[in-house]
Amino acid sequence: MQTVILILFVAALAIFLGAMLYFFAAPFLWGRFKDSSGRRRDRRHKPLN
């Protein structure tokens, strides 16, 4: 029974960490996929805000 609980716990941890990484990394990845012009626009607008 201990092995089953351990496997479930590790699986839950992996899913949680994966979701956290996805939410934190998604904006950076989308930023990289954007064109360089898109990045420049973002940089120009940030100081104004």
Domain range list for the chain = 2-48
Tell me, what amino acid is at 32?
R
Tens of pLDDT along 3-41? 999 999 999 999 999 998 888 887 777 776 665 555 555
pTM above 0.95, yes or no: no
Cα 48 off chain centre by: 26
The H or E element containing residue 33 is: helix 2-33
What is the pLDDT, as a whole number, of residue 3? Answer: 96
